[in-house]
Amino acid sequence: MAQATQDRIGWIGLGEMGYGMAKNLHSFLASHGSHLTVWNRSPGKTDAIKEQGARVATSIEDLASTSNVIFTSLANDAAVENVYEQLVRLASKVQEQIIFIDTSTIHPTTATKISQLVAAYPQHRYLQCPVFGRPDRAHAGQLVWVASGDAATIEKLQPYFGSMSKNTIDLKTTDVSKASSFKLMGNFFVVGTIELLAEGFALAEKVDIDKSAMLHFIESFFPAPSWIGYSQKIASGSTEKTGGFPVTLGLKDVGHMKKLAADHGATLPTADVAYRNLERMKAQGKGDQDWSSIIEVLREGPDAQNTPTSKTMTSQQQQADRIGWIGLGLLGFEMTQHLQKYLHTHKLPNLTVWNRTATKAVNFCTVAAPEVHVVHLIEDLFVSAADGSRVKANVIFTSLTNDAAVEKVYETLIRYAAIAQERTTFVDTGTLYPELSRRLQKELADLPQHHIYLQCPVFGRPEDARAAHLLWVASGDTNAVDRLRPYFEIMTSKVLDLKATDVTAASTLKLLGNFILMSNTSILAESVNIARKSNLDPQHLISWVDAFLPVPLLMGYSRRFVGGVEDEVGVNMTVGIATKDIKCLRRWAKTSGAPTPVVDAVYENFAIGNEKGYNGKWDFLLDNITVAVPVIEDIHRAIGTAVEEHKDKDVFIYFYASIDPATGKSWCPDCVTAGPVVDEYFSKIDNAVLIDAPVGDRPKWKDPNHFLRHDSVVKITAVPTLVHWSTKSQLVENDCEDLAKLDKFVKRA
């Protein structure tokens, strides 16, 4: 086959499935005088295929630079996104066509996202080709492939697919999400079969029916490979052996099925049951066993925690819920989109939102979710009658930046909660000082309606929120947590219910989680510096982290610090926020009497960066990176003076947008983000509304004074060396559109 000698084939990912497929593909190529190039995060897994003649690449970049057809077989969505961000970045510089084929089981939205990344470079192609079959079928070349993407490309690659499979199902569509959806539906049949077989065999054991008789029955009446194969595993007791399809990946797949169904208004009760049983297996430390091992928990009997009770939300309860959301920051903006989509799909009342920065709320309802209702005041979100007889939102989520913002918002909420005639549940997703969360819980519970407060901080980056892959930590009233779980799950891949009515449990865990991230990042930075000064190639550190600390965030920072890859896996947590969090943990630990030597050391590192005004990624931890120092004192002084002089007016603080989203570079090299400084002053002003600049439309804003003038408006533009305020005397003619936005979306004090 001439094509096999012309193409340069690469393979990334040598797990149980990946190795079997790669081995067969390499044999096919070798028979035509060619070879396969492979790369795996853990180098040890490349030894076997190297002995068969495959070339082992030293890095993803090495593989990408020598391949024009690249297959990937990866464990989960995060790994796929991480690898393809690197591949596409490298491919963007190549004019020769590169074909990417992903065989992983991922959520349809992830497949679409990767396809869009590749589509930005029209010379390249992306196919989504998940596979059906167990690892033993992969080794035997007996998998079933499902293909979606460019038809001509699929046809061209059929010989390669054929070397690894017994059949290819071509969906005849360029929409790559369809193959991912098809794979999830197929796996739903598989996990449903496993659940059915496990329940049947567990019952057979209870009533003393011989397993061999059950197996004979299945072989006679259900002669399908999956039925027979899983029946044999269950009957023989071989489910405990590793090497099959592990419980952890089963949870990932079933979680994707549940989300896919929820997004389209469908229900999968069988998947719900299987998911609970898989969770029980993982909780028992058996996450590496084959997913057919759920028979073990079925032998134990029902799990009281997972047995459906009156706590589970019914459709009638959902219809009664009217949900409000306060705070549209990086995470809040993404979470609310998932929540609104769920409400809209299930024909439930639409979301009501409020955000301190009016334009963010405008953008949200204009661009992301037009059905959402935007209110101008917090009280308009909560009650619609002076006596509290009409409650607009009886479930209110808050996603705010810091404790000061939370205190200010909840001061208003508690004032109106005191007169509300309906019990309301408040869910805060922020990172709070534990004592503050306890105080809010008590103040709301002490009101006549005994309102409920849940502390549910989230772990993850904005891109995780966008993909609904956040980790939620829940504490508070356990009935309320269970009842609201469907809302939580639509925004996240995992809900960690602490089963604790004391809300400080979740606040403390969030601070500890952030501390672990910050301390490990500090250790990585110090290690990179030591390596450089000891003439050790820092790339060896990357290999070590990949092998022994395979955590996406740590892997990303190791690459970022070394400088070999401009990895964007950062947490999007500013130095200021990180310093605030570690300071909270330090204070909480000292209150509890716990020694904190490492916390103290990490705090000192971040406090130095914060004091110097560095507010970007955490690269400042490397001692060879220059830290920009803004004139913070000038901003403090000028804003304070302007506000003091105009107490009688509605003060609109406007922070000049200094970053071009198209290039990621500053409009002005001297500008650095002074947002936290503005926020600090703004939080102390009662009659103030913050208006953001429309990011990305730079030409229109050449004149700093060209923004929202009004009789009683003071505009403060903050950059390191300039704070400017203007009044009506500086009006220009063409502000009608902006003034209309102001009048429509901002109620002046």
Q: What digits encode the pLDDT tens for the residues 80-127?
A: 999 999 999 999 999 999 999 999 999 999 999 999 999 999 999 999
Q: How far apart are CA 348 and CA 393, in angstroms?
A: 13
CB atoms within 10 A of CB 642: 18
Catalytic entry in 365, 584, 668, 736: 668
Is 671 among the catalytic positions?
yes
Q: What is the pLDDT of residue 722?
A: 29
- CA separation (Å) from 679 to 41, 330, 401, 684, 713? 42, 16, 10, 9, 18
DSSP for 358-369? HHHHHHIIIII-
Q: Check whether 716 has a pLDDT greater than 60.
A: no
Cβ 352 vs Cβ 392: under 8 Å: yes
Q: How far apart are CA 230 and CA 183, in angstroms?
A: 19
Cβ 431 vs Cβ 511: under 8 Å: yes
Q: How far apart are CA 541 and CA 544, in angstroms?
A: 5
> Is the domain covering 525-621 a CATH 3.40.640.10 domain?
no
Every domain of the chain and the residues it spans: 2-175, 209-300, 315-502, 525-621, 632-745
Q: Check whether 579 has a pLDDT greater than 50.
A: yes
What would the mean pLDDT of 159-168 be, rounded to a whole number? 95
Q: What digits encode the pLDDT tens for the residues 402-450?
A: 898 999 999 999 998 888 888 899 999 999 999 999 999 999 999 888 9
Q: What is the pLDDT of residue 398?
A: 96
Q: What is the pLDDT of residue 534?
A: 65
Query: Which segment of 144-153, 185-194, 383-392, 486-495 scores lowest on mean pLDDT?
Result: 383-392
Cβ 681 vs Cβ 653: under 8 Å: yes
Catalytic entry in 129, 584, 671, 736: 671
Output the six-digit token pair for 391: 């409650």
Q: Do domains 2-175 and 315-502 have the same CATH topology?
A: yes
Classify domain 315-502 by CATH architecture.
3-Layer(aba) Sandwich (3.40)
Q: What percent of the chain has pLDDT over 70?
A: 67
Q: Which class does domain 209-300 fall in?
A: mainly alpha
Query: Which segment of 110-119, 456-465, 705-714 scores lowest on mean pLDDT?
Result: 705-714
150 backbone dihedrals φ, ψ, rounded to 5°:
-60, 125
Query: Mean pLDDT of all residues in the chain?
Result: 76
Return the H-helix or E-strand segment holding 544.
Answer: helix 539-548
Is 584 among the catalytic positions?
no
Q: Which class does domain 2-175 fall in?
A: alpha beta
Q: What digits encode the pLDDT tens for the residues 267-312?
A: 888 888 898 889 888 888 888 888 888 988 888 776 544 444 333 4
Q: Check whether 73 has a pLDDT greater than 70.
A: yes
* Sheet containing strand 470-474, strands side by side: 458-459, 470-474, 492-497
